[in-house]
Amino acid sequence: MRSKRSELLVGCFIVLGVVALVYLAVQVSGLAFSSKKDTYQVVARFDDIAGLTNRAKVSIAGVAVGNVESITFDKKLYMALVTMNIDSDVNNIPTDSSIAVLTSGLLGEKYLGISIGAEDEMLKNGSEIFDTQSALVLETLISQFLFKGGDSEK
């Protein structure tokens, strides 16, 4: 009663649906199906992170080497506590390296950039980067500029 052809086409239809879902998951949302890469966690405290989000990239020399795991508020120090995962094959970051909140392009995403220090000791799982630079907030910059301009005129 039911033809082989319609069965085949219904099968193709469902396969097409699954392919579309996988395509959306992998290519569009960047979901990685491969087993999670080995990472180690590093924390850093910032005065102001201004728009940094979870999953933002952590880079050295512009190359992504990890991502932001969580951002919480440190109640004692009134600072932002950022926990990040760094790929474990990048295991030679000196402990005195500095980390800054950067912006890609004028209106782009916020990300973290690590500048390499000179210490012999390397960062391990759970260690902290102490030398941090906060995000540049446009309003603060403008007000600084305005107040300085006012001073020099006097």
Partner 1 sequence: MKSIELLGASLLDWLEAVGRAGIFLVQSIFRLPVRFKESVNLLVKQLYSVGVLSLVIIIVSGAFIGMVLSLQGYSILAKFGSEEAVGQLLALSLLRELSPVVTALLFAGRAGSSLTAEIGLMKATEQLSSFEMMGVDPLRRVIAPRFIAGVICLPILSLIFSASGILGGHLVSVEWLGVYDGAFWSSMQQSVYFDTDIMNGLIKALCFSVVVTWIAVYQGYECVPTSEGIGKATTRTVVLGSLAILALDFILTAAMFGDF
Asked if 36 is part of the footprint of partner 1 (rule: CB under 8 A), the reply reads no
Q: 21 or 146: whose CB is closer to partner 1?
A: 21
Task: Provide, rounded to whole angstroms, the least separation between the CB of residue 144 and partner 1.
Answer: 25
The window from 17-25, 84-92, 119-127, 132-140 that contacts partner 1 (CB under 8 A) reads 17-25
Q: Among residues 32 and 118, whose Cβ is nearest to partner 1?
A: 32
Rounded Cα distance, 110 and 53, in Å: 8
Interface residue with partner 1 among 2, 36, 75, 154 (CB under 8 A) is 2
The closest of 67, 60, 63 to 41, measured between CA atoms, is 67
Q: Does 51 bind partner 1 (CB under 8 A)?
A: no
- Among residues 101, 104, 108, 109, which one has the least CA distance to residue 137? 101
How far apart CA 59 and CA 37 sit, in angstroms, is 16
Say if CB 76 and CB 43 are below 8 A apart.
no
Is 105 an interacting residue with respect to partner 1 (CB under 8 A)?
A: yes
